[in-house]
Structure 1
């Protein structure tokens, strides 16, 4: 990622002279002053952004080229044949190299937030700015909507939000007002007449005196183009980018907009899959005397088929279930919904016999979806007796957490549902003490750790054993502590295909 320091004064046309010995990004740093020059605080007229008189003009922009090195040679000697063309070609190659390196950095970003930040950094280097922000607000209204700043904190972005929307170039571009398609330049905010007083106050507070804004539009520049948002770069002094700089940043942002459009569409898909999965799971957990429940569900980026359930049963009993369908994406989510609904029906009819419930579920899965398998764990819970009768099909064993013990429940080894011609396995019983918690979970919790299976189980055991005594009376706190400890980021790798389900039942 580009490292934009506190003041970037980059001149793109000076890069060819340095690129023979260093990369483009190193050449950027060549012209980044260590401290803020005193001249920046002195009054001066507006100037072209990023052009510093102390930086020598590049060779391919020199007005004349001498053909003789002798002291008496004429000063107006004509150019050697082809020298000017070669000079221009060198400049074009330099520009292409710059854009290539910047776009290479951009395509390596795989999240929307990372891509927006890279866009700001690269754009700031191209236009010679130090700060900026980008607002993602797709014109179709489907989102995602977000604002990211460069060199601007949350409070700074909040100050900008207090300015009337159409008083800012960013707002005018987002609203699609005429005259904003090619960008908006404000070379000297405090010299402009008719500037909104609130805009003037915020600019003075944040310390910027000029801005350059560009629309982010995916597709060709036609009526069918999709406007994604806008980016604006802020200057600490009156300034504006040269025509050459505008051309370069325009090429870059057009490419960046296409990349952002793809990431935004992926973000929409992920959000839709998470919403569908959440809607297929219980909207709330039942309240049954004698037991407290808590559940945590983390959907993977691709949408997985992990699920959980808790439903009241006759005779003040409670059915507890967790499971996982093979595969990912919409088909796995749909299969998960069908499997969970079927298990609820079987549990109501014969929940006191967990083996019969899973046997019926296995038969249904084999007949209706023979190409798919699933793991499942169903427990018939009797809160008054503090007892759970369990049956599992290829699922990880529950974990029992109490004041004097933290141990995995021994369950019989069995195949997942749909793997054998006929599934069958014996049930086991858990007898809990008052105040103890039973943790049911899916394999995704173990897989997201990235550890081998034995180490993942050891990590889960250590996380449960390390729950502070003060938190053990609240199953919500127990579930959160276990997730934070097993998966420090509470979700695991961003590109993981594994869902995470954790169901905690504490006996009173």
Structure 2
């Protein structure tokens, strides 16, 4: 009869030899059953705790998403939250609305521009998210396992053939699996697709899939709303730009440059430069109260009217603004506007200007940087009859006259006195290399007065700069 072996300890055979037995070994007793089974209430409490935890997580993620207003920020938040839910550290979301109206945009998480470029070289039909974007019948998203290079076809982990370019890009970027979901919302339909990349052969659990699906459904609705707002802003900005000069005129003796930044809701700031008889030039800037489509439309009407008055009596800026004020008071009595019109004779380097509640021009040169002294006057439409004297300015050769709207000052967030001082300091610090270039001068002032890209942010205020350098 064979004797039983002693159990191994930590995988090492015992050194003591097995003793001989003359009787049969006593069979081992079965382990006693647990005396206390979990109470039904405990199981329910655990499930409720899990549900509360999931709901809390979804609430926090959706709250963070709801605070985003920009389209790119929304897409980045969707990508980051989804990565946390599915347990991935990299991914990308592709916005490609099915209606073809755009905008098309790709945002990556943990992927640089070069990495995104490599992924875009993979045939779209070879990836789940690509099939979602192309609207193929099997475009349901889900998990995808890429082949393990250490295994041969047919072994576990090599579930299906993969496009050679897809295998090459996956090996270069170091990901082995992916999980993709469509972004879709009514009434726009398919918006795009999101895909998260795993470094190893894995996929999200059933719980992770459920939570991610709930989050993505809400996220798609939010992205759709932000997309509609973005499209509306783009259309409004396009209309506003079309109402402004498509190009500045060329007049002997003077060089012109302009910069215009439109707020997200569209504002009423405008500028104009038009050649006048006998080699003269008319320069104008203005701002209509309010924002949105009505302000943009009023701005277009006001600018068109000023052009007509400037052609008829441009040599008298006071008369031009008086006619404009009368028109505004008769046609739009509930609206007011500021304006400044300058009649320039480049050959004589002479400027006659008048302003209606507008900020004074800035004279910038090598030997002086100073504001032009204009008389205080009310905006157009504020009084029963507007009138203010004109001012004559004689710029020296090489000096630049800068016209601007008060949006430049208000975007600084400072008081008006400090904002004027900031603008003066920026103009006085224009480098010599760009002093003779009106476009470079405008860019320098924008960067200096509004640093850190604040001239491009979604401020409610429009910005207009119009620079005229006299030879």
Q: Describe the SS at the equivalent of 1:315.
A: helix
Counterparts of 1:402-417 in structure 2, within 5 Å, are 402-417=365-380
Aligned residues: 432
Q: Does 1:374 align with 2:337?
A: yes
Counterparts of 1:102-501 in structure 2, within 5 Å, are 102-181=61-140, 183-190=141-148, 191-219=158-186, 226-492=189-455, 494-501=457-464
Task: Specify the alignment match of 2:20 in structure 1.
Answer: none
Give the deviation of 1:247 after TM superposition: 0.5
**Structure 1 pair 87–194 and aligned structure 2 pair: CA distance change class (3 A):** same
Deviates more, 1:185-194 or 1:103-112: 185-194
Runs of 4+ in 1 over 4 A off after TM superposition: none
Task: Specify the alignment match of 2:44 in structure 1.
Answer: 85
How high is the TM-score relative to the length of structure 2? 0.90
Q: Distance in 2 between matches of 1:76 and 1:131?
A: 48
How high is the TM-score relative to the length of structure 1? 0.83
Native 8 Å contact 1:449 1:492 kept in 2: no
Find the structure with the greater CA-based Rg: 2
Give the deviation of 1:76 after TM superposition: 6.9
Q: Distance in 1 between matches of 2:145 and 2:356?
A: 69
Deviates more, 1:96-105 or 1:353-362: 96-105
Native 8 Å contact 1:448 1:493 kept in 2: no
Native 8 Å contact 1:188 1:239 kept in 2: no
The C-alpha deviation readout for 1:421-445, integer Å capped at 9, x for no partner, is 0000000011001000000000100
Structure 2: runs of 5 or more not aligned: 1-30, 149-157
Give the deviation of 1:200 after TM superposition: 0.8
Native 8 Å contact 1:304 1:498 kept in 2: yes
Deviates more, 1:84-93 or 1:293-302: 84-93
Structure 1: runs of 5 or more not aligned: 1-71
Q: Distance in 2 between matches of 1:491 and 1:339?
A: 28
Give the deviation of 1:490 after TM superposition: 4.4
Q: Describe the SS at the equivalent of 2:278.
A: coil
Native 8 Å contact 2:309 2:320 kept in 1: yes
**Structure 1 pair 321–162 and aligned structure 2 pair: CA distance change class (3 A):** same
Native 8 Å contact 2:182 2:192 kept in 1: yes
